[in-house]
Amino acid sequence: MSNKKAVIALGGNAITLPDVEDTITNQFVNTRLALKGVLSLVAEGYQMVITHGNGPQVGNALLRVEAAVGKAPVIPLGICVADTEGGMGYMIEQSLLNVMYDAGIVRDVVTLVTQALVDRNDPAIANPTKYVGQFYSQEQAERFREKRGWVMKKDGERGWRRVVASPMPIGLVGAEIIRKLVDDNVIVIAAGGGGVPVYTDEHGWLEGIDAVIDKDLVSAVVAKNIGADTLLILTGVDQVAINFNKPNQENIDVAHLDEIRELFEAGHFPVGSMGPKIRAAMKCIEEGGQQAIITSFDYAAEAVAGSAGTRIIA
């Protein structure tokens, strides 16, 4: 086997496509399609961890919780994240085993529901900014503020939504196990949806927190943990660009860390879209990674080979 190591971060839309009915059957179809590019890296012998987003799925989980109020116990956000980690990990694991079988590749694959460590004093916890769940009227938003203590903010013209904290991940519970499995050539699916956020209390116990962690940022933590050469972020665009969707748009083929940091600080990568991916890419390089690559699912193999996508290097 190769000793090349990679973390492959699948965007949430790898499984749920915006304009396709979100049935489980369709989620399986989308997952198999998204894994075609990953399969070529498996065939090359990469040791790897696969992470994934869960935005659409955890939104659906919260909707089911709302629909069941008064009929079933309310499930907190942290458990919804853990539930979607397990369910989506199952889909990715089974789909990858099936496409590997068709390709004649035999390797073990395992899914780990992962707890991601955060600092309980992270300023982000006191300043919730991440929208989750459904849209509500202003009247409903006021009721949720009063009865459940939710922080509610208006999200464009569609209404009000719950916002939760998005703290910075600083470590992983079970990090050593993930590293050992990868070194044993097991393909590990971990830190799905950013992992379940937890902190260590004054007694040394782990405690969950109703928050969400950015999937790309936790992927950089995973990359450092396993000593990955490459962080591959698969998303909805083929390349990173400045002046995106404007007449003067410029796609980026290769950028050094200092160059991409300068563009980031100049505001070229919005918080709600490319910003977290660029932050994760910079974090990966700063902590010893050789390259961070951002591209679409269709060009995963070509991007790692250097002929597609955007590469960020030291």
Residues annotated as catalytic are 12-13, 130, 215, 277
Cα separation of 72 and 264, whole Å?
A: 45
- Alpha helices by DSSP H, listed for the chain, are 24-43, 55-67, 77-102, 138-148, 175-183, 215-226, 257-265, 275-286, 300-305
Cα separation of 314 and 304, whole Å?
A: 16
Answer yes or no: are the C-beta atoms of 297 and 37 closer than 8 Å: yes
| H helices, E strands: number in the chain | 9, 17
Q: How many CA atoms lie within 13 A of 58 on its CB side?
A: 32
Cα separation of 176 and 226, whole Å?
A: 9
Q: How many CA atoms lie within 13 A of 188 on its CB side?
A: 28
> Nearest CA to 193 among 86, 300, 293?
86
Cα separation of 208 and 115, whole Å?
A: 9
Cα separation of 216 and 37, whole Å?
A: 18
User: Please, what is the Cα angle at 268 between 252 and 279, to 5 degrees?
Assistant: 80
> Nearest CA to 162 among 232, 67, 239, 59?
59
